[in-house]
């Protein structure tokens, strides 16, 4: 771990100004991922700016049934806030499926969006990793790729995004509010994380000097029939082999709308809106769910060790849809 300067900022606009001057500076929230990466030498920021005290630590109700989760609200506080529990129980379930209670108490929601992959090779400086150092190669592609991507991978990177929270955010069409030197902007969750392409070093579309201010959730008709399913190697404190966040709106015994995102399968929470359309107007039946899961996984490509995740993924989707429809 390299020596670094640590300072605390008292306002978001000041934080952005200070960030602009230093290309090796980083914002720090809970630090549950960043500090680990610095210990491993994967990250080597020389200036950490603490943004936990800039007034982004509340969960608020907004007009029109929206809610706004401040970026420095901890994962635990978000999951147990009355507004999230009542209106977005899918998000609560996803957050509580992640990490461990100790980590959730430290980690912030803004930081969760920026979690980096758990690819073994990314963490080991002795191996080639384009995400760490673009152009160095990828030892994972022909290596141990059990936990790697089925969708949207590139020749440069097969890493997956590790978050549970973000999978639910994708299902719920969350909006990420950010502030940069040129003022605020809103990024749809679908556009927030990116695929690795030729530049796997970039996990998302945030600029270096932009600060996540809040996550906003538009009112959702999916909050009655919902389910978060997570398949993992042990019952807690394990990243998802596969996860699925499912919400649907049932009326008169038929699916009016549905939104489905999967985790553990791609460089970002994975949605397939074309496949989702297959569900519209159908009865919530196993046969329908199976057809959907086949369509969803049509473009999935196994890499060897992770081939089992294709069948496992289909089953996870069917189970999550079934559980959601029965709620």
Partner 1 sequence: MKESQTWIGKPVSRVDGYAKVTGAARYAAEFKSDGLVYGVVVSSDVTKGKILKIDSRSALACDGVIEVITHENRPKVSFWNRKFGDQDSPPGDHFRALYDSEVYYSGQPVALVIAETFEAARYAAKLVVITYELEEYETDFHSRLEEAYAPKETKPGFEKPKSRGDADEAFSQAPHKISAEYDSPTQHHNPMEMHATTVVYEGDDTYTIYDKTQGTANSQAYVCQVFGLSPKKVRVRAPFVGGAFGSGLRPQYQLYLAVMAAKKLQRSVRVVLTRQQMFSFGHRPASVQTVKLSAGEDGVLHSVGHSVTAETSQLEDYMENVVSWSGMLYKCENVEVKHELVKADIFTPLDMRAPGATSGLFALESAMDELSYEIGMDPLELRLANYTEKDQNYFGRSFSSKELRACYEQGAAKFGWSKRALKPRSLREGKKWIGQGVATGVWDALHMKSTASAEFTSKGELKITSGVTDIGTGTYTILTQIAAETLGLNLENVTTSIGDTDFTPAPLQGGSWTAGSMGSATQAACFAVREKIFKLAKKLPDSPFSDAELSDVLFEGGEMLLKKDPSRSVSLNDVLKSSRVDSVKAEGTSAPNYLKELPHARNTHSAVFAEVKVDADFGMIEVSRVVVAVAAGKILNPKTARSQILGGVVWGMSQALFEETVTDHRLGRILNHSFAEYHIPVNRDVPEIDVIFVPEADSIVNELGVKGLGEIGIVGTAAAVANAVFHATGKRVRNLPIRPDKMV
Q: Is the dihedral of CA 23, 110, 57, 3 positive or negative?
A: negative
Q: Distance (Å, rounded) from C-alpha 247 to C-alpha 21?
A: 43
CB nearer to partner 1: give 126 or 252. Answer: 126
| Cβ proximity to partner 1, 142 vs 252, nearer residue | 142
Q: Is 37 in the site for partner 1 (CB under 8 A)?
A: no
Which residue's CB is nearer to partner 1, number 190 or number 312?
A: 312
Choice from 27, 121, 270, 297 touching partner 1 (CB under 8 A) = 121
Range in contact with partner 1 (rule: CB under 8 A) among 74-82, 168-176, 191-199, 313-321: 313-321
116 binds partner 1 (CB under 8 A): no
Verify binding: residue 47, partner 1, rule CB under 8 A.
no
User: Which phi and psi angles does 15 have, rounded to 5°?
Assistant: -60, -40
Query: Judged by CB under 8 A, which of 17, 125, 186, 286 binds partner 1?
Result: 125
Residues binding partner 1: what is the number (CB under 8 A)? 36
Burial 271-298, CB ≥16 within 10 A → b, else e: bbeebbebbeeeebeeebbebbbebbbe
The one segment of 15-23, 183-191, 272-280, 316-324 that binds partner 1 by CB under 8 A = 316-324
Q: Return the residue of 80, 83, 120, 294 that touches partner 1, per CB under 8 A.
A: 120
- Select 55 or 101, whichever has its Cβ closest to partner 1: 101
Helix 286-296, helix 308-326: angle, nearest 10: 140
Minimum distance of partner 1 from residue 316's CB (angstroms) = 7
Give the residue among 99, 97, 104, 52 at the shortest CA–CA distance from 77. Answer: 104
Residue with Cβ nearer partner 1 (100 or 182): 100
Identify the bridge partners of residue 214 per DSSP, sorted by sequence position.
Answer: 70, 177
Q: How many CB atoms lie within 10 A of CB 302?
A: 15
CB of 75 to partner 1, least distance (A): 16
Does 127 engage in binding with partner 1 (CB under 8 A)?
A: yes
Q: Which residues of 120-139 are buried (b: 16+ CB within 10 A; e: fewer)?
A: bbbbeeebbbbbbebeeebb
3 binds partner 1 (CB under 8 A): yes
Of 230-249, binders to partner 1 (CB under 8 A) are 231-239, 241
Binding to partner 1 (CB under 8 A) within 212-231 occurs at 231
Residues near partner 1 (CB under 8 A) are 1-3, 41, 100, 118, 120-121, 123-127, 139, 142-144, 146, 231-239, 241, 308-309, 311-312, 315-316, 318-319
């Amino acid at each position: 771990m390299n020596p670094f300067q640590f300072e605390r900022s008292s306002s978001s606009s000041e934080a952005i100004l200070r960030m602009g001057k230093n290309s090796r500076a980083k914002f720090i929230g809970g630090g549950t991922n960043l500090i680990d990466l610095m210990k491993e030498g994967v990250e080597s920021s020389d200036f950490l700016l603490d943004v936990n005290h800039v007034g982004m630590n509340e969960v608020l109700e907004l007009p029109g049934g929206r809610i706004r989760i401040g970026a420095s609200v901890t994962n635990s506080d978000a999951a147990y806030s009355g507004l999230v529990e009542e209106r977005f129980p899918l998000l609560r379930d996803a957050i509580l499926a992640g990490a461990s209670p100790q980590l959730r108490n430290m980690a912030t929601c803004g930081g969760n969006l920026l979690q980096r992959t758990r690819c073994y090779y990314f963490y080991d400086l002795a191996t080639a990793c384009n995400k760490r150092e673009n152009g160095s190669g990828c030892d994972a592609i022909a290596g141990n790729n059990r936990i790697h991507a089925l969708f949207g991978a590139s020749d440069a990177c097969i890493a997956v995004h590790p978050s549970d929270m973000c999978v639910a955010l994708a299902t719920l069409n969350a909006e990420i509010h950010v502030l940069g030197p040129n003022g605020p902007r809103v990024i749809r969750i679908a556009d927030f994380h990116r695929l690795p392409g030729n530049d796997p070093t970039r996990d998302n579309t945030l600029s270096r000097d932009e600060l996540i201010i809040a996550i906003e959730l538009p009112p959702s008709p999916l909050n009655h029939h919902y389910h978060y399913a997570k398949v993992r190697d042990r019952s807690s404190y394990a990243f998802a082999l596969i996860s699925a966040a499912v919400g649907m709106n049932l009326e008169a015994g038929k699916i009016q709308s549905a939104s489905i995102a999967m985790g553990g399968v791609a460089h970002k929470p994975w949605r397939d809106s074309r496949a989702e359309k297959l569900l519209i107007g159908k009865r919530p039946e196993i046969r329908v769910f199976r057809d959907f899961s086949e369509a969803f996984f049509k473009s999935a490509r196994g890499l060897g060790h992770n081939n089992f995740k294709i069948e496992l993924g289909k089953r996870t989707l069917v189970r999550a849809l079934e559980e959601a429809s029965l709620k």
